[in-house]
Amino acid sequence: MSNAVTILSGGLDSTTLAFHVADEGIKQHFLSFNYGQKHKKELRSAKKIAKLLGCKHDIINLSKVGPFLKGSALTDSTSVSMPEGYYAEENMRLTVVPNRNAIMLSVAWGVAIGEQAEAVYYGAHGGDHEIYEDCRPEFISALGQAFKLGTHGNFPFVLSAPFSTMTKADIIKLGIKLKVPFKKTWTCYQGGKLACGTCGSCTERLHSFHLAGIEDPIKYTDREYWKKAVLERVSA
Amino acid sequence: MSNAVTILSGGLDSTTLAFHVADEGIKQHFLSFNYGQKHKKELRSAKKIAKLLGCKHDIINLSKVGPFLKGSALTDSTSVSMPEGYYAEENMRLTVVPNRNAIMLSVAWGVAIGEQAEAVYYGAHGGDHEIYEDCRPEFISALGQAFKLGTHGNFPFVLSAPFSTMTKADIIKLGIKLKVPFKKTWTCYQGGKLACGTCGSCTERLHSFHLAGIEDPIKYTDREYWKKAVLERVSA
């Protein structure tokens, strides 16, 4: 049985990825990261998902690193407020944590070397590309090649983001087939009791469930806002 | 005046690099990393060097990450003991911390994005290549390209390791010109009161000072061992 290290945020994409990789018969070690994000609630979701799949799970504490990565609404409450609206709008760049994915992937690759894991998986998806450069296939491919060059021996042999050209709606459709418990996932960038429905991450999720033709099973403070955000974007 | 983020370990190479970059008139922000290394003493050296150059300096705490990067004598006291001998011997691979340089460079790049720094500097040198894949020019170049692909905007524009094809003896010669206070640097992988003189890092340093034709100003527990290690390597 081959083994892999999978980055599991507790969100919809990485959870579906975890189920997809498990379905391929690959043994996974899940890593989640606490980088000082306001939505630490996702880590609780990650824990539940890992338990459900019966896999090893570690939460890596990068909270001391977060404050050095300046300018993101995800980590910096004092000077950057969370943007609302359509997820691919230019203002959503405020949610980019500088080089966050490279940092998490570097750590995951380091863990994978120690375990001679064959692959590192991560759940970047196609809808991220417009504003998140570090979710694009060309970035993932280049980073994987660099890691290989910096690593002695054969393992790990690949950095893989199998959803990197899929839309979130496609991922939801795949998740339905794989019986992913979407109710247990956490997507909202705010750390509230309910998902807000107005941040970029919520609007994308709700829009994608709509496109996939099913209802999102989680509760929202504002379940209708996304329609307005999408309409404004389309007419812009 | 252009600005840069420079990784400063407190060792001989990164200290000479810091002086070299300062000499070019570039304003630096130094980053050091605590990743659970036994030789935390180097961090004290880094602090002194930063003060001497009058630059901003932060020590980033990755000590919670270290235990997940398994199999290195630098971080894992219980299961891996520090190898002695010539620095390029195969057994020195035990001192490789899995993907450590990519992790530090990812964080440094993230900091540099937030500060719109023009470059990230790091002190990999030519002598490292035999056993440290993550010091080779092709790795540095590939990683820098990946980071660029994952970053929005123009800054930083380069990941630079100007010593990556120089020997440590060459670096020492440059350091002499730049009046680098070698006495303040810390190279030994052991965390003892004096440098041990027998670990790979000490033998390389002593051998390199010998090749540069000057005396190393720091004190060693065993200042003669390196000659035996080099002779055995040559006759092997």
pLDDT (tens digit per residue) in A157-178: 899 999 999 999 999 999 999 9
pLDDT at A139 over 60: yes
What pTM was estimated for this model as a whole? 0.95
Rounded distance between C-alpha atoms, residue B190 and residue B192, angstroms: 6
Average pLDDT over residues A1-5: 91
* CA distances, A211 to each of A97, A122, A189, A214, A223 (Å): 28, 23, 21, 8, 15
B113: which chain A residues are within 8 Å (Cβ-Cβ)?
A: 69, 71, 98-99
Rounded distance between C-alpha atoms, residue B182 and residue B211, angstroms: 16
Contact A102 B146 (CB under 8 A): yes
Average pLDDT over residues A68-91: 83
**Least confident interval from A55-59, A82-86, B113-117:** A82-86
Considering only alpha carbons, which residue of chain A is nearest residue B71? Answer: A114
Q: Which DSSP string corresponds to B90-145?
A: GGGGGGPPTTHHHHHHHHHHHHHHHTT-SEEE----GGGTTT-GGGSHHHHHHHHH
- pLDDT at position B92 is 83
- pLDDT at position B87 is 77
User: Do A214 and A175 meet the contact criterion of CB atoms below 8 Å apart?
Assistant: no
Average pLDDT over residues B103-110: 98
Place of tokens 């950095």: A159
User: For A24-150, where are the alpha helices, taking DSSP H only?
Assistant: 41-53, 100-114, 137-149
Could you tell me which residues come within 8 angstroms of residue A140 by beta carbon, excluding any fewer than 6 positions away?
A122, A124, A159, A161, A164
B149: which chain A residues are within 8 Å (Cβ-Cβ)?
A: 133, 136, 138-139, 142
User: Do B123 and B16 meet the contact criterion of CB atoms below 8 Å apart?
Assistant: yes
pLDDT at B129 over 80: no
pLDDT at A236 over 60: no
Chain B within 8 Å of A61 (Cβ-Cβ)?
Answer: yes
pLDDT at A122 over 80: yes
pLDDT at B222 over 60: yes
pLDDT at B9 over 70: yes
- pLDDT at position B236 is 56
* CA distances, A50 to each of A23, A28, A125, A184, B137 (Å): 14, 9, 21, 11, 39
* CA distances, B118 to each of A53, A124, B7, B223 (Å): 44, 28, 14, 41
- pLDDT at position B100 is 94
A93: which chain B residues are within 8 Å (Cβ-Cβ)?
A: 152
pLDDT at A129 over 80: no
- On the question of a cis peptide bond just before residue A156, with omega within 30 degrees of 0, the verdict is yes
- pLDDT at position A132 is 87
Average pLDDT over residues A173-192: 95
Listed residue (B51, B50, B52) closest to B30, CA to CA: B50
Residue A145 banded pLDDT, cuts 50, 70, 90 = very high
Q: Read off the DSSP letter of residue A97.
A: P
* CA distances, A224 to each of A27, A85, A186, A197, A221 (Å): 39, 12, 18, 8, 9
Chain B within 8 Å of A87 (Cβ-Cβ)?
Answer: no
Closest Cβ–Cβ partner in A93, A105, A145 for B152: A93
Looking at the DSSP bridge assignments, the partners of residue B120 are B5, B159
* CA distances, B171 to each of A121, A187, B17, B25, B43 (Å): 39, 50, 9, 19, 20
B71: which chain A residues are within 8 Å (Cβ-Cβ)?
A: 113-114
Average pLDDT over residues A205-209: 96
Query: Which domains are seen in chain A, by residue range?
Result: 3-235 (3.40.50.620)
* CA distances, B81 to each of B33, B42, B92, B124 (Å): 22, 19, 11, 24
Closest Cβ–Cβ partner in A101, A114, A133 for B69: A114
- pLDDT at position B22 is 98
Q: What is the pLDDT of residues B49-92, one digit of tens each?
A: 999 999 999 999 999 999 999 888 888 777 788 888 887 777 88
- pLDDT at position B235 is 62
Chain B within 8 Å of A106 (Cβ-Cβ)?
Answer: yes
A146: which chain B residues are within 8 Å (Cβ-Cβ)?
A: 102, 139, 142-143, 145-146
Closest Cβ–Cβ partner in B58, B133, B150 for A150: B133
Residue A117 banded pLDDT, cuts 50, 70, 90 = very high
- pLDDT at position B151 is 94
Q: What is the pLDDT of residues A23-46, one digit of tens each?
A: 999 999 999 999 988 888 999 999
A70: which chain B residues are within 8 Å (Cβ-Cβ)?
A: 111, 114-115
pLDDT at A109 over 90: yes
Higher pLDDT, A156 or A80: A156
Closest Cβ–Cβ partner in A58, A98, A147 for B99: A147
A115: which chain B residues are within 8 Å (Cβ-Cβ)?
A: 70
Could you tell me which residues come within 8 angstroms of residue B64 by beta carbon, excluding any fewer than 6 positions away?
A60, A61, A62, A64
pLDDT at A108 over 80: yes
Chain B within 8 Å of A139 (Cβ-Cβ)?
Answer: yes
Chain B within 8 Å of A56 (Cβ-Cβ)?
Answer: no
- pLDDT at position A234 is 66
Place of tokens 């440290």: B132
Q: What 3-state class would DSSP assign to A25? A: coil
Contact A103 B100 (CB under 8 A): no
What element of type H or E holds A119?
A: strand A119-121
Average pLDDT over residues A137-158: 94
Chain B within 8 Å of A134 (Cβ-Cβ)?
Answer: yes
